Amino acid sequence: MMKISKKLADSLYEESQLVSNDTLNSVDELSHKIKLVIKRDDDKHHGEKEKYNIKKIKVAVQAAYNQLNEPLPDNIWRRFNYYLKKCSDQFEGDEISVETLQDIIIKFLMKENPDVAEEYIIYRYKHNLAREKRKNADFEHGLEDKLLAKNVVNQNANVDEYAYGGRMGEATRFVTKKFGLENVASVQAKENHENNEVYIHK
């Protein structure tokens, strides 16, 4: 993960405080080059990307201010966009890892209001926990469907999915398919499978 040093972050924050409607007349002048966010920056999931979406940041920051019953400061998003633009100028390309983006946001909020930064970190933590819980629930429901024969399709004429042996076979294929997509298949192969462009035989 690439990081902006605290010294540079503090300097860029001070610059951002000079941004106002008088000094910059349009949002275009504040545009940064970030187009894609790498969702996870580790060997297992490196390469999964999504479009940069300022709305997600606004929702999380607003939630942090709401927890403290404080209003958003004037021009906070113009100043943040300027800050993000200057930070992104330190990197090559138009992509940024989610960890680096979160680090930039937190450094900005720490200068704005340390209490808000703390609430933002808590919000993100709870959000991540909820996301993992949803993912686990989907997996558990899918596995339960196989073991209890709730959604029998009998894809193989030689296998009775209602029989316990058939259920175990389907459950095993369900688990190994998920493991293969998450840990073995390349990012491109996984995307092709999820877009129904190729079929990974179980």
- Cα separation of 191 and 193, whole Å? 5
Which pLDDT does position 50 carry in this prediction? 85
**By three-state DSSP, how is residue 38 classified?**
strand
Q: Please, what is the angle between helix 164-179 and helix 114-147, to 10°?
A: 150
DSSP string across 45-109: TTT-EEE--HHHHHHHHHHHHHHTT-PPPTTHHHHHHHHHHHHHTTSSSSEEEHHHHHHHHHHHH
Which pLDDT does position 40 carry in this prediction? 62
HSE-CB at 74 with a 13 A cutoff on CA atoms is 5
pTM of the predicted protein model: 0.63
Which pLDDT does position 171 carry in this prediction? 73
6 vs 12, 84, 107, 116, 183, CA distance in Å?
10, 14, 8, 18, 35
Per-residue pLDDT tens digits for 137-165 = 777 777 777 777 777 766 665 666 667 67
Which pLDDT does position 61 carry in this prediction? 95
Q: How many CB atoms lie within 10 A of CB 130?
A: 10
Which pLDDT does position 65 carry in this prediction? 94
- DSSP 8-state symbol, 197: S
Give 10-residue mean pLDDT values along the chain (202 residues).
80 81 49 76 58 91 94 89 89 85 93 93 85 75 75 65 70 75 71 68 56
Token couple for 159: 């296998």
**By three-state DSSP, how is residue 37 classified?**
strand
